[in-house]
Every structure is written in structure tokens, then in C-alpha cells.
Chains A and B, each alone.
Chain A
Amino acid sequence: MEQKKTILVTGAAGALAKKVIDKLKKDYKIIAVDFRTKVDLGIPVESYKVDFNKRIFEDIFREHDFDGIIHLGRITAQELNRFTRYNANVIGTRKLFDLARKYNVPKTVVMSTYFVYGASAYNPSLLDETTPLKASELTMDLVDSVELENLSTIYLYKHPELNITVLRPCNIAGPGVRNTFSMLFSEKRSPVLWGFSPLMQFIHIDDMRDAIVTAFEKNIPGVYNVAPDDYIGLQDAIKAAGSTTIPIPSIPPVLTEAVAKFLNWKSFPSYLINYFKYPVIIDGSLFAKTFHFKPKKTLDDIFTYYRSLK
């Protein structure tokens, strides 16, 4: 019998990684790692809690002959301080790429985010992959996201043998997702900025899982936005999810920031204020064409799920 190929999946504690592992475990041997915790993913998935920056991380590469890496692990701004996060997300990813080179891992999928483009009043719509990444201009809390992207792009072109595919998805939503906008939809009353309802895109977690698996299996290196060509204003989305809105003063900006810091809500972090104001609409057509990808779940499927929670 042919031996199953082995994949390293990082960020195993996240809802998306669990979905990816669940989908791949039948056909691949999965080694799951997470910076935060050892996750019980059941037999046959081997799981480790490991810091990428510790020497012991290399033991995992020594023990397993990886055929690919799906790098979903990311410490978010809500979890740890900026310094630790930078070390884990940026320096840790560099360590991962170096080990991938050393142990001849032939392909890697890296998860990024549309946040890297930055939310600005001057953004045109349908940003494509060549658009400059301006999130660092807005807040130091997104520097690690931009740096991770830059690092991945450097390795993508400097070390083509790594076959790196970087995915920049729009907002991921659905069961188990704990990002900012998912939390807004889960709450009965959700903060919004008074007078602002930026246009947004949402992709269901199941579709994002399929996008990652497709990108991994087809292995066409490059940087890709992942987003459906369907849109909704944030306040309309919150209402569609069955929540009511709590308007936060939007002018002057210093007052908004002071209120966000004072409230300290996970669903309204001060570093994302601009994303509550201005649209960041990305063009997902390159990924859709290259990988023949079309999301199966609609916006209504997403909001129906959140309404069912209430």
C-alpha cells in the first residue's frame, strides 16, 4: 500500500485549522502544531504544543518527512503583546521557512489576511494582489501581519523550490470563528461607528477550508486574494445576523479611539477602528480563475448561522 504523504499544519487550535485537518486526515498523515496549546485532534493526528523559535521545533522536521506545510498559525493582536506576537508570527515564520528549505519540504501554503491592505478613505474598490500593503501606516498592531507577508514574498521569489502560496482572505465567518467581525455577529448588541457602514466581504469557514485545501493540492505558487464577489455594508450585515447596533461616536477620531480603549471590547478593538469606517474590498478573481474556485455558501448562509445562535 502506498504510504500517505505527511503534512505539517500550524495553528492547530484554531477553528479553521481543525476544519482543514478534518478534511485532509483521510488522505494525508497530519502533524498538527500550535504555539498556544496542545490540541487533541483524535487519532491519527499527532499534535504538539511548540514554539517555532525553540530548537525543539526542528525535532518535528527530523522525525517526519514533510510533503507540505499549511501555515495557519497566527497570534492575533487580542492574544499577546506586540513583541511576543512579532516573534511568534514573523521570526517564527522565518524559522519555519528555513526548516522547510533545510528539510526539502516541496510546498507551503501561508495564511495572511486582507487587513494587510489597510483601511483608508482613499482605497479604490477591488484591490488586487499588486496593491501596496499599507496597514502598517494605520497601527503598529498590524505590523506583524504586513511583515509576515513581506517575508513570505521574499521566500516565495528567492527560494522558488519552497513553492509558497500566500492566501489573503476577506473576513472569515461561520461556526467556531472567533475573529472581530464574527464576534460582532455573535453578540446581541454590536458596536458600530456612528454614520459609517463600510462595505465588506465575508467567506464561510467551510469555503475557506476548501480554498486552502485546493491551493495546497494544486500547488500554484503566488499571492492570492480569496473573496467572493458579493458584498454587504457592515451595519446591514450585523442586522442580517440578528444583532442590533450600538453607535459609537465617530468624530472626532480621538474620541472614537478613547471610547474603544475605554470599553476594551474584543469585538471593537481600537487598532481596527479604520476597518469599521472604510471599505477594503479585495478582488478575488485571480484565485477564482487559477484554482477554479467558487464559494458554495452565500452571505445568507453565513447570517442564518448567526441568527440561529440567538
Chain B
Amino acid sequence: MAESKTGVFKKIFNDKSIEEYINVFPNRVGSFGFDAWGFNIRNMKSNMRLTKFLYESFFKVETFGLENVPTNGRCLIIPNHSGQLPFDGMLVGYSLLTNPNGARAPKAMVERFLPSVPFIGNWLSSVGAVIGDPINCERMLDNEEAIIVFPEGTRGSNKLYKHRYQLQRFGAGFMHLAMKHNAPIIPVAIIGMEESIRSYADIKPLAKLFGIPVMPLVIPFIFPSKVYIYFGKPIHFENDVYKEHEIKERVEKVKSAISKLLKQGLEKRASETSNK
């Protein structure tokens, strides 16, 4: 017999299995469980219970290459961005939170307008989201954090369904930070989120009216598409080039590493689907 809705919620919020991860996080927090960016270990627990449901039961995530993620010390996790809502960040974050090789609570750089949205801003910062300011990123790298950065920004997450799996322009900020702070870059490919929420148009006048970057025309339904996350091998860049075109060449190297992972993942998914 199917579980009742109350039963499902009880199961989610009484789940004690995440404690084993929380207790080993290397993240440093103060006496009330907060760090300097608003991350809060208590909120993290309840958030992890909810994300666990999304991760295991809704999107049925499969991860590959988690051994490529350093279990401590600074690093930049660089995925492709998709799916209109920040589920991709949550899923990548959860995979690091429950990494069997060494759990750690990552930070994720988010749009600057988000702190001004009631409840959302606070909730996001309590689970590790930080506004995309280079000063924040520098400080966190110095604090030996793992930071998820989506260099495509809203160009990637809010692209139209017809452009799925086409990487958009990458910002170069992450490369400057990786070089300056000697942080390895972990390229990541996320497959499946493009199909979860599909946007067919961007209603620019409405976006302008509400003062937000995009107003996607979407089917108001989250498709439970299966998600695959591929973590690539760490890439190190020396701090030895200074001209912007040289830095952009390095950004393209990371982009092509993600592109390669995406291609492999899509081919694997296609072959699995055809075998069924």
C-alpha cells in the first residue's frame, strides 16, 4: 500500500541517517552553529533531509567520479547550469555532503539579488549559498572551502529547452580566483536537469517589470527526470598568465572538459535507454 502523504513527510523529517555525515563535516562554525557566510549546521540538517528525498527518490541521482573531489582543502566545483530552479546546485551539493570518500558541506555562489527575497535569501545562506562576489569567494578559498560556481549564471540555468546541453558563455571570474588562490578546478557535468523544467520562451518585459534577470515561460511541472552527475579529474592552473585572452583560453579548457563529460554522459544515457 502506498504511504500516506503524512507518512512520507514524517519519514523525511525524522530521518536520522544524515547525522553520520553532519558529524564529520570539516566546516568550521561558531557557538550557535553559524559561519561568517550564514551557513547554519542546524538548518543544514533539515535541508539535507528534504534534499535526500529529492536526490534519492525524485531525481534518482547517480554520481560518478566522486573520488575526484578533494575531501578537504580549497577547490572550485564547476558544473554546467540547467533546470530553471537551483535544483542542480542542491543535487551537486548533496552529493558532496554525502560523499562516501569524505563528506563536506560546500558553498555555492548565487545571484546577487537573492538575499533581498524574504525567506529564500535566509534559507539559501543557511544551507551554504553565498552571493557571487569575488571577495566572498576569495575569503572562502582562504578558509579552505569547496565552492560550487556556475560560470554560465542565468545564461545556463534559464536557457530555452531547445538549447539543452549547449554550454553558454562562461564568465572568467572563477579562473582568476583558481589561479590566484591555487585552487584545483573540478569540472562537473549534470545530465537530466534540462528535462525537469522546460522553458519555451523568456518573457523579457515581465522580467524587467519584476526586476529579475529572466521570466521563463515554463510548463508548471517538475518532471522527475533521472539525473546523472559526473565529476571530472581536478585541473590545476598556475598563476602565470595575466592577459585576459590567455585567461579566457584557460576558461575554454575547463568548458571543453565539461563538454566532454556531458558528451560521454549523454551517450551513456542514450545507450541505457535504448537497451531498456
**CB nearest neighbor in B for A301:** B31
Q: Which B residues touch A300, using CB under 8 A? A: 31
Contact B112 A196 (CB under 8 A): no
With A197-B122, A251-B118 in contact, is A122–B131 under 8 Å at CB? Answer: yes
Q: Is A104 an interface residue when CB atoms closer than 8 A count as contact?
A: no
**Bound complex: CA of A299 vs CA of B117, how far in Å?**
28
Q: Which residues of A contact B9 (CB under 8 A)?
A: none
Residue B180 at the A interface, CB < 8 A? no
Q: Is the interface of A mostly helix, strand, loop or mixed?
A: loop
Please give me the residue from chain B that is nearest to A128 by CB atom: B135
8 Å CB interface, A261-310 against B? 277-279, 281, 298-300
Chain B nearest CB: distance from A136 CB in Å? 20
Interface residues of B in 13-38 (CB under 8 A from A): 30-32, 34-38
A232 at the interface (CB under 8 A from B): yes
> In the assembly, what is the distance between CA of A277 and CA of B31, in Å?
22
> Nearest 10 pairs between A and B by C-beta?
A195-B118, A230-B30, A124-B135, A195-B119, A124-B133, A121-B115, A231-B34, A121-B116, A124-B136, A232-B32
Q: Mark A94-122, 1 if CB is under 8 A from B, else 0.
A: 00000000000000000000000000011
The answer to whether residues A126 and B116 also contact, given A232-B34, A233-B34 and a CB cut-off of 8 A, is no
**B112 touches which of A121, A125, A199 (Cβ 8 Å):** A121
Within 8 A of B (CB), among A195-252: 195-197, 199, 229-233, 236, 240, 250-251
A-B contact count (CB 8 A): 73
Hey, which chain B residues are within 8 Å of A233, CB to CB? 34, 38, 40, 122, 126
* A155 close to B (CB within 8 Å): no
Chain B residues lying within 8 Å of A197, measured Cβ to Cβ, are 122
A73 to B36, CA, bound (A): 30
Q: Could you tell me the distance between the alpha carbons of A121 and B113 in the complex, rounded to whole angstroms?
A: 7
CB pair A122–B133 under 8 Å, yes or no, is: yes
**11 pairs of residues in contact across A and B, judged by CB atoms under 8 Å:** A121-B113, A125-B38, A126-B139, A194-B118, A196-B122, A199-B125, A229-B30, A230-B32, A231-B38, A233-B122, A298-B31
Chain B min CB distance to A150 (Å): 22
A200's closest neighbor in chain B, by CB?
Answer: B34
A residues in contact (CB < 8 Å) with B: 121-122, 124-126, 193-197, 199, 229-233, 236, 240, 250-251, 277-279, 281, 298-300
Nearest-CB distance from A303 to chain B (Å)?
A: 9
Q: Is the CB of B32 within 8 A of A236?
A: yes
- Are B32 and A240 interface neighbours, CB within 8 A? yes
B216 contacts the other chain (CB 8 A)? no
In the assembled complex, the CB of A185 is this many whole angstroms from the nearest CB of chain B, namely 14
Q: Identify B32's interface contact among A121, A194, A231, CB under 8 A.
A: A231
B37-78 interface with A by 8 A CB criterion: 37-38, 40
Q: A122-B112, A230-B32, A277-B116 are in contact. List 7 more A-B contacts (CB 8 A).
A: A121-B113, A121-B115, A195-B117, A196-B122, A233-B34, A236-B34, A250-B118
Among B38, B112, B133, find the residue whose CB has the most chain A CB atoms closer than 10 A: B38
Q: Given the complex of chains A and B, what is the CA–CA distance between A122 and B115 in angstroms?
A: 8
User: Chain A residue with minimal CB distance to B138?
Assistant: A124
Is the beta-carbon distance between A278 and B34 smaller than 8 angstroms?
A: no
Of the candidates B31, B37, B116, B118, the one whose C-beta lies within 8 Å of that of A125 is B37
- Asked whether any CB of chain A lies closer than 8 Å to the CB of B121, the reply is yes
Minimum CB–CB distance for A255 against chain B, Å: 12
Taking a contact as CB atoms under 8 Å apart, the answer to whether A299 and B36 are in contact is: no
CB-defined contacts of A281 to chain B, threshold 8 Å: 36
